[in-house]
């Protein structure tokens, strides 16, 4: 099966700075890479996703980049705000069974 590794496990940044979270995967045939944000006590919410035929996708302050050759993808948050504080999970959907594999999560804290 797929092996997804996410780094770092915790990340603290000052308000206004950028934050980058990286995930690597093992199956080169995997084709879908979503990112979820989970605020304390709430359900994980899909915030952005990218498919294997695209290298970069941006939505306002968040962006995701995909390097298929190196098998890694990253979440970029610019101009961070305290409300960005949450746990972020990357995920990978394998192409054979279609199962969704999650990384272990990154606790992002944005200090005002």
By the criterion CB under 8 A, which residues form the site for other proteins?
Answer: 32, 34, 36, 42-46, 49, 51, 89, 91, 93, 97-105
Q: How far is the CB of 16 from other proteins (least distance, A)?
A: 28
Q: How far is the CB of 98 from other proteins (least distance, A)?
A: 8
Closer by beta carbon to other proteins, 51 or else 61:
51
Closer by beta carbon to other proteins, 42 or else 69:
42
Closer by beta carbon to other proteins, 57 or else 78:
57
d(CA 85, CA 67): 26
Closer by beta carbon to other proteins, 10 or else 18:
10
Cβ partners under 8 Å of residue 6, min gap 6: 21, 22, 23, 89, 90, 103, 104, 105, 106
Q: How far is the CB of 36 from other proteins (least distance, A)?
A: 8
Q: How far is the CB of 79 from other proteins (least distance, A)?
A: 26
């Amino acid at each position: 099966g797929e092996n997804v590794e996410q780094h770092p496990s915790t990340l603290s940044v000052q308000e206004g700075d950028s934050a980058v979270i990286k995930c690597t995967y093992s199956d080169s045939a995997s084709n879908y890479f979503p990112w979820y944000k989970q605020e304390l006590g709430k359900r994980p919410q899909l915030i952005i996703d990218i498919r294997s035929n695209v290298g970069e996708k941006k939505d306002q302050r968040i962006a995701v980049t995909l390097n298929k050759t190196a098998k890694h993808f990253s979440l970029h948050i610019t101009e961070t705000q305290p409300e960005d504080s949450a746990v972020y999970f990357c995920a990978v959907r394998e192409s054979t069974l279609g199962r969704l594999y999650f990384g272990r999560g990154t606790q992002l804290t944005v200090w005002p």
